[in-house]
Structure 1
Amino acid sequence: MRYTAALISVADIHVSRAFYEELFGLELDHDYGINVSFSCGLALQQNFAWLAGVPEESVVKRSHNMELCFETKDFDEFLKKLNSRPDIRRLGDVVEHGWGQRVVRLYDPDGHLIEAGEDMEMVVRRFLASGMTMEEVSARMDVSIEDLEKLLTAE
């Protein structure tokens, strides 16, 4: 057995596909008409109620019980792209979590919650560039120095 994908219900496959390709740069893996999958493992399904065999009214929007998470190496550039899209509804402003990662939450066209955040390697690099020592970064992020070093050398 192997995990293959997270599949989310969408009202219009074309609108949702464009949203994920344009905003997040996702690459199409398969296109089956009312179902598309991206190389990252996310899949979109139009007519989900029919597929799953559940009542249409049971497929809800903005349930706030899960979120899709994306990270980027250039968070500021992502924010510029996001700010150029007044059609995208946000759930609040940019926040910086206690461990230092900056994130913003937004909704896709079907009301699925998305967290877009700064890549954790970039958080460490930002802290180091500000003059913090590895020990200070380790304490701030509550992560071992060994794990920080792994982040900085991972490909």
Structure 2
Amino acid sequence: MKYITTLIAVKDMEKSKKFYHDVLGLEVVADFGANVALTGGISLQTADTWKDFIYKQESDIIFGNNAGELYFEEDDIDSFVEKLNSFDIEYVHPLIEHSWGQRAVRFYDPDKHIIEVGENMAMVIKRFMKSGLSVEETAERLYASVEYVMGCLEGRG
């Protein structure tokens, strides 16, 4: 068994391709018209064809149900949020800091699928270390092991 992709239904393929390219920097790997594969392991399928695959009516496809998200990480979260603000984006929430110290923003794509972009954990660790925390204190703040922190610092995380 091998995991291949996450597929999401979209109402307007061209609008979705533009959004995922312009906002998240994803490129089209394969374009079959009603199905498009993007870099990062995401595929878009037109809602019109998706309904037939799952033997449902288009009205049975529920957009904006807030039951899942596509998760990305970004090294420079501040620059990403600045870029994000240049788009007409509907936010789930603005940039926040989670209890473990990772900063993240959540917003909707054109079909109300939630997108989360979180700060790369190695960058969180470096930020904590730069602020004067020890490896042990950083691990405690992250609710993680010292081994995890060391792995991230060594590029294995």
Q: TM-score, normalised by structure 2?
A: 0.93
Equivalent in the alignment of 1:52: 54
Identical positions, percent: 41
Deviation (angstroms), 1:51? 3.1
Say which SS state the counterpart of residue 24 (structure 1) adopts: coil
What are the Cα deviations for residues 8-58 of structure 1, in whole angstroms up to 9, with x where unaligned? Answer: 000011110111111111122111112111121100001221333211111
Structure 1 residue runs without a partner (length 5+): none
Contact 2:94–2:105 at 8 Å: present in 1 too?
Answer: yes
Distance in 2 of aligned mates of 1:35 and 1:103:
29
User: What residue identity is the alignment partner of 2:109?
Assistant: D
Equivalent in the alignment of 1:129: 130
State the 4+ residue runs in structure 1 displaced beyond 3 angstroms.
none
Structure 2 residue runs without a partner (length 5+): none
Distance in 2 of aligned mates of 1:125 and 1:154:
12
What are the Cα deviations for residues 37-85 of structure 1, in whole angstroms up to 9, with x where unaligned? Answer: 1121100001221333211111011111111111101101100111111
Q: CA RMSD in A?
A: 1.2
Segment drifting more, 76-85 vs 45-54? 45-54
Aligned residues: 154
Pairs within 5 Å for 1:6-155: 6-46=6-46, 47=48, 48-85=50-87, 87-154=88-155
Say which SS state the counterpart of residue 37 (structure 2) adopts: strand
User: What residue identity is the alignment partner of 1:134?
Assistant: V
Say which SS state the counterpart of residue 72 (structure 2) adopts: strand
Distance in 1 of aligned mates of 2:138 and 2:21:
34
Deviation (angstroms), 1:93? 1.9
